[in-house]
Amino acid sequence: MPILVDEKITNDLALSDNTQCPRIDRRAKPRIKAPFPSRVWAFDLAGNAFELDCVLDNLSSRGVYFRLPKPLVSGDDLSLLVTFVMDAERGAKALLRCEILRTDPEVNGQFGIAAAIKTHLFL
């Protein structure tokens, strides 16, 4: 039985040349790309506890991505307090308990941290 493919999808995947590959987002849940101010509590590679302020790159119902000046260990847990800023005077806060999925080194010396949300509590 032939597989029908939407023409727009076919056009989106068509390559203008053979040197570039299309990037397809395979995430199960949509991401919110907003710079929510946050504070992270975690352990560094040496096992020392630390806390730092950071800004989220994106957030979904199952995960977060943000940047730190130091790498973290995949599989470790971290806590993240996210402020969902609406304006200068209003915003909800949520405490997230997460498992670190990966640390992505970047050319600017920062590290992108991908973490899965295990539990959350709105404050």
Instruction: State pLDDT tens for residues 40-61.
Output: 999 999 999 999 999 999 999 9
User: For the domain bounded by 27-122, which CATH number is listed?
Assistant: 2.40.10.220
pLDDT score at 6: 40
pLDDT score at 87: 73
**Contact present, 13 and 22 (Cβ < 8 Å):** yes
Q: Are strands 77-85 and 91-105 parallel, antiparallel or unpaired?
A: antiparallel
pLDDT score at 28: 65
pLDDT digit string, tens, across residues 86-98: 776 788 999 999 9
Token pair of 13, please? 């995947």
Averaged pLDDT of the chain: 83
Q: At residue 118, does pLDDT exceed 90?
A: yes
Selected residue with higher pLDDT from 36 and 3: 36
Domain ranges of the chain: 27-122
Q: At residue 101, does pLDDT exceed 60?
A: yes
**Contact present, 53 and 39 (Cβ < 8 Å):** yes
Distances (CA, A) of 94 to 12, 29, 54, 67, 81: 37, 19, 15, 18, 6
pLDDT digit string, tens, across residues 5-29: 444 433 443 443 444 555 555 556 7
Q: At residue 62, does pLDDT exceed 50?
A: yes
Q: Rounded distance, CA 106 to CA 62, Å?
A: 23
